[in-house]
Chain A
Amino acid sequence: MILQQLANASGPSGREEAVRQVVIEAIRDHVDSYQVDGLGNCIALKRGAAPAADGRSRRVMVSAHMDEVALMIVQITGEGLLRFRKIGGIDDRVLPSKRVLVGEKRVPGVIGCKPLHLLHDAEFGQVAASDDLYIDIGASSAAAAERLVQRGDYAVFDTPYEPWPQARLVKGKAFDDRAGCAVLVELLRGDPYPFDLYGVFTVQEEVGLRGARVAAYAVDPDAAIALEGTICDDMPKKKDISSTTVLGQGPSITIMDRSMIADRRLVQLLIDTAQAEGIPYQFKQPLMGSTDSGTIHLAREGVPTTVVSIPSRYIHSPVTLLSLDDLENTVKLMRAALIKLADLEL
């Protein structure tokens, strides 16, 4: 499954080329053209099955972001340890005691921390700030370290993709948003749609929804749907409050998040399609998270937009989890909804 290759590839915000390569290999024989723009977005065009009656073919953009949250090496100490800063939002508490891969050569490293035996009382209740942590690649001097890595190199979490067949789940890193990318690849591999479909694999979402902004300006679509791997907070809670999304309950549809208010007609189209096709679906808790649609919907004179997401537990941490059923249902829902989109009045 394409998700495995995508999840295993390294693609921190600003250096998504490895992921882009996987994408291009997967789609090149199924699209009419693709190009890479000035920020690194991959914009693929799958022409519509037949020309539109009125001469102007409807343009629909479906996007997913290629970048993942990661670490950047900012200093190599005299002892050969690597100090780092975070790219995108990572909770400091997930960092200690994890394995990473550094740089293009994917040099293995570990993020260690002081043994608990040696902690002072005051330190026990404290979170180790990322500025106080180090990546250890085993080098014992700066010179030794510099033979393998350099300042500016990226470190990604070392979490190989792994199916959990009993549970119909899969584990890996960066399902936010390689899950979305996988769905988009599948959508581009099928038959043409009744309009020009722009499949856009964006960059730098995690540092400000930036690739999507310029891609939407360039594509100038009539409607857009962003695909995401999203927050899934369905573990035990003290109060009866929202889980944002629930694993296994199908693709989630966004009505409103921090970055945009969805176009109601697109939302209704997705609901109607899901019901007609018997596909499970859920609503994502409003106001949670920002997505590429935040910048897409403000391109030029405005673009009707929404977001369809695959629930994923533990996003922005080294290990993420999703349900293959949810993934497949997302592809089904999107394919059916896109076909219906051709006739939607916008």
Chain B
Amino acid sequence: METKTLLRKLSEASGVSGYEAELRGLVREAWAPWADEVREDVLGNVIALKRGTGAGERRYKVMLAGHMDEIGLMVTQLEGGFIRFTQVGGIDPRTLLAQEVVVHGREPLPGIIGTRPPHVLPPEARNKPVPWDELFIDVGLDGSRLAELVQVGDLITVRRSMAELEDDRLSGKAFDNRASVVAIACALERLAGLKHEWDVYAVATVQEETGLKGAMTSAYGVYPDIGIAIDVGFGNMPGQSELDSIEMGKGPSIAFGPTAHPAIHEQLVSVAQANEIPHQIEPIPGASGTDAWAIQVVREGIPAGLLSIPLRYMHTSVETVVAQDIARTGRLLAHFTASLDAAFAGRLGLNR
């Protein structure tokens, strides 16, 4: 599987939280060759089942969750030929000025996020980020033509193609969390060549950026025995505390703390070591802000784990990853899944 090609395809597609239709099709395409069944649920989560070989009336289930939605913008008001907008999910407002966008009206329209020229503003204004209500999107149309093509509630995505940088690094929008969707694809492909007892439910969740909602409902419906979330973590950079960072190019981080069941954490680490997969440990003292946090408290509680792909500049349109880290994450997921057996279930106190 060509990681870079798939990531480019997913990254350049549009799938803002709540409106993931385009991604659904692409994820199905990427995962279906390795799965026995693919379906969608009410909120639009894509759920791919790859059956295991375990004997017995009911096989244990592991859910692998990677969210496919991205942060974006939405039209709130039309004012003359200009568009007022708000965020869907936590867009970094400092990245908006002079950003090119696509407005998804009756047809996709290219646009620019702008504000009044700095030349006409008092000097102090330049020392602060532009407030939301002074930003506009300009698609170059007059008021009446605009009103024919665009309405309140239309989605707006950042317009950014993927770039290949030095040293195996890639940069683009929505690598949070399309990089993880790619990692899951890698895992499924590898699993095709490995024996695994447990059933695998690969889930591309929706609306993570707006409240972990797809994870809540898909975990409720799938009702797995354990859940592993794959997301991105804060790749190290100057000005960012080491305490908050994981290292670029050193493989996925394996979370430790209330967000991860200790036995799952241990298993992920020992599988990584046994298979010589570069990895890091990430202590997280509280909420992980990921699908894992939501999965843990569904129904009677689901033991969970969390892998994070190191990523710089999160929630900007130039998110940067090391391609190898995606492949490593996929490998770790595959070998972890293949390691799950009745003995592990026993260690977790699961009984079926």
Contacts and interface: CB of A to CB of B under 8 A. Distances in A.
A and B directly contacting (CB within 8 A): yes
B300 A38 contact: yes
Contacts of A152: 256-257, 281, 283
Interface string A85-99: 111100000000000
Interface stretch (A1-9, A202-210, A230-238, A305-313): A202-210
Interface string B260-296: 0110000000000000000001010111000000001
Contacts of B281: 151-152
A208 B257 CA distance: 14
Contact of A72 (B283, B297, B298, B302): B283
B301 interface: yes
Interface of A is mostly: mixed
Contacts of B296: 39, 210, 214
Contacts, number: 78
A74 interface: yes
Interface string A12-24: 0111000000000
A13 B302 CA distance: 17
Interface string A127-163: 0000100000000000000000001100000000000
Which bucket holds chain A's interface residue count?
20 to 34
A92 B261 CA distance: 28
Given A38-B303, A39-B296, A41-B301, A207 B287 contact: yes
A51 to B, nearest CB: 26
Interface in B328-352: 348-350
Nearest to A89: B286
Contacts of B349: 35-38
Interface of A: 13-15, 35-39, 41, 71-75, 83, 85-88, 131, 151-152, 204, 207-208, 210-211, 213-215, 217-218
Q: Which 8 A-B pairs give the minimum distances between C-beta atoms?
A: A214-B301, A14-B258, A218-B300, A72-B285, A38-B301, A152-B256, A152-B283, A39-B301
Given A38-B303, A71-B285, A87-B286, 10 more contacts: A41-B301, A74-B285, A86-B285, A207-B286, A210-B296, A214-B296, A214-B301, A215-B300, A217-B300, A218-B299
Interface of B: 241-243, 256-259, 261-262, 281, 283, 285-287, 296-303, 348-350
